[in-house]
Structure 1
Amino acid sequence: MADQVIWLNSALCPATHAGIDPADRGFTLGDGIFETLRIAGGAPRHVALHLARLRQGAAALGLTVPLTDTQFQTAISTLLTANALSDATLRITLTRGTGPRGLLPPANSNPTLLITTAPFIAAAPEISAVICQTTRRNEFSPLSRIKSLNYLDSIIARREAAARGAEDAILLNTKGDAAEASAANLFVLQGATWTTPPVADGALPGILRARLLARNLAREMRITPQNLLTAACVCLGNTLSLRMLTMLDGKQISTDPTAAQALRTVLESPDT
């Protein structure tokens, strides 16, 4: 980290010299959003989809996005070159900026934009999980559709999973249906059809999820905990990985490596 360069607001900056104002609302209140991108061969994958989702989240929260898409791509390219990275994970973090004490945002805010990179580390192709008992996904909250800086529910779920000897947790919504994992969408093979929970059930509108739906490789469907136990295959996927679920609540479940690989091929494809 000592030698890493970041992008802060409008320019490159050594990570060791970066400063975030203590009154930044992203730090004090989680008032912001983020996007995580996969960098392969020196190029960001599906950057247009990520930037579109960033702008949708910003609009929902009334945040100002300080760069155009072209300026974002220039900043990303400049940062990757500075860090000599061709295979990486890149994160864009956008906050409302500084503000006085209290919840109501200032009338005129000056956003903070931070872009950071890290070497890409491939996840294992298989994973274990539990059905989370300590928190639930609120499908009625607008935040269920936004990649906000508040990930405390996911942190609670992941801590529970670790305490129960698993790697991840499946969050149910307020009705008791499966919504998503702590940081991934659910893909459930029922018969010959890959299904995924609807956004209305609390699923984050993920980039991989959107691409699979657009290509008619998956369809939205209500998914119950029992569906997870009886499905032909269950995968947890996001823009960085597609992992096949092998154990749920300590029980072996059905797997289909060939079917999972078909989804993984879409994940690894550079097309939109």
Structure 2
Amino acid sequence: MSTAIAWIDGQWGTAATLNLPLDDRALLLADGLFETVLVRNGQPQLLQEHLKRWNSSSALLGMDPPPQRDTLETLIQEAIQRSQLSEADGALRLNWSRGSTPQRGIGLPAPGHHRFWLTLQSCTPTFSAVTTITSRHERRNTSSRLSRCKTLAYGQSIQARREAQEQGADDALLLNTAGALCCATAANLLVRRRGQWLTPPLSSGCLPGVMRGRALAQGLAKETELTAEFDADDLAVLINSLSCRPICSHDGQPMATTTAAAELWQSLLD
């Protein structure tokens, strides 16, 4: 029986029992980053790719470098043992904030006070089909540095998902500030068109997702601008480290779905 586990400031416990200080900028300002890593049979998957993005994002946002891989691997392996996930799937979340600050406001504090914590819980990868809409209220900013980083600030995604659910859909697709298709609330978009998987370029404002990056590196997908409307014969999936979900309906119109979402996702782990 697996157990959810957490670590912060040298203490092990659960996410419900451990504490984040009330003056941490993660809590006050969502000033931080995170990575969600699949754990499969006791091993973190694509950890190097996640840490590369984590470090790049930290540098881009002017944060201190996150903990090194050697330090992380020791904590991750202990978390896996404590949670009894050595033969199961789990979701590992690595968090990095700018830390506690005694001052009010958004001014940057002195470096050297960043805070790291992690959580790990059981999680089953998901491949079921979803219905989507195009958000009418939220758009991805093509020029913002934040669009290129997996930050703690998910307010826009929450509101877009809320908008979808109010219309009876599962999720929302976000256009960017130029009006092109960009991504979903918590996943990258892959579109199968005339036999080729396509995905918006990073210049669209989409997150540089790890699974998206794998699809490009393996030659399974290529980058291209996608207009706001799907073509009649398009197939589409929403993909991230924990899922690959075909879109079966968009804005109330049925779409053909791929039957190989799980196989596509698995091929990117290999």
Corresponding residue number in structure 1 for 2:250: 248
Distance (Å, rounded) in 1 between the aligned partners of 2:34 and 2:117: 9
What is the CA distance between 1:65 and its match in structure 2? 3.4
TM-score, normalised to structure 1's length?
0.92
Query: 1:97-116, aligned counterparts within 5 Å?
Result: 97-99=99-101, 100-116=103-119
TM-score, normalised to structure 2's length?
0.93
Distance (Å, rounded) in 2 between the aligned partners of 1:15 and 1:234: 35
Corresponding residue number in structure 1 for 2:40: 40
Corresponding residue number in structure 2 for 1:94: 96
Distance (Å, rounded) in 2 between the aligned partners of 1:153 and 1:36: 19
Letter in 2 for 1:85: L
What is the CA distance between 1:151 and its match in structure 2? 0.8
Distance (Å, rounded) in 2 between the aligned partners of 1:255 and 1:14: 39
**2:153 paired with 1:150:** yes
**2:256 paired with 1:265:** no
Letter in 2 for 1:114: W
* More deviation, 99-108/161-170: 99-108
CA 231–154 in structure 1, closer or farther in 2 if over 3 Å, else same: farther
Greater fraction of residues in helix? 1
Residues 217-244 of structure 1 show CA distances to partners (whole Å, capped at 9, x for unaligned) of: 0000001122x24243101100111111
Is residue 229–residue 253 contact of structure 1 (8 Å, CA) maintained in 2? Answer: no
CA 16–196 in structure 1, closer or farther in 2 if over 3 Å, else same: closer
Tell me the SS of whatever aligns to 2:212.
helix
Distance (Å, rounded) in 2 between the aligned partners of 1:237 and 1:4: 24
Report % sequence identity.
Answer: 35
**2:84 paired with 1:78:** no
Is residue 127–residue 262 contact of structure 2 (8 Å, CA) maintained in 1? Answer: no
What is the CA distance between 1:153 and its match in structure 2? 0.8
Distance (Å, rounded) in 1 between the aligned partners of 2:235 and 2:159: 26
Corresponding residue number in structure 2 for 1:131: 134
Corresponding residue number in structure 2 for 1:207: 210
Is residue 94–residue 114 contact of structure 1 (8 Å, CA) maintained in 2? Answer: yes
Q: How many pairs were matched up?
A: 265
Residues 30-62 of structure 1 show CA distances to partners (whole Å, capped at 9, x for unaligned) of: 100000010000000000110111111111112
- 4+ residue segments displaced more than 4 Å: 14-17
Corresponding residue number in structure 2 for 1:217: 220
| Equivalent residue for 1:164, pick from 163, 167, 175 | 167
Distance (Å, rounded) in 2 between the aligned partners of 1:167 and 1:230: 21
Distance (Å, rounded) in 2 between the aligned partners of 1:160 and 1:243: 19
Is residue 148–residue 205 contact of structure 2 (8 Å, CA) maintained in 1? Answer: yes
Distance (Å, rounded) in 1 between the aligned partners of 2:43 and 2:142: 34
List alignment gaps of at least 5 residues for structure 2.
none
Query: 1:178-189, aligned counterparts within 5 Å?
Result: 178-189=181-192
Distance (Å, rounded) in 2 between the aligned partners of 1:196 and 1:5: 35
Tell me the SS of whatever aligns to 2:139.
coil
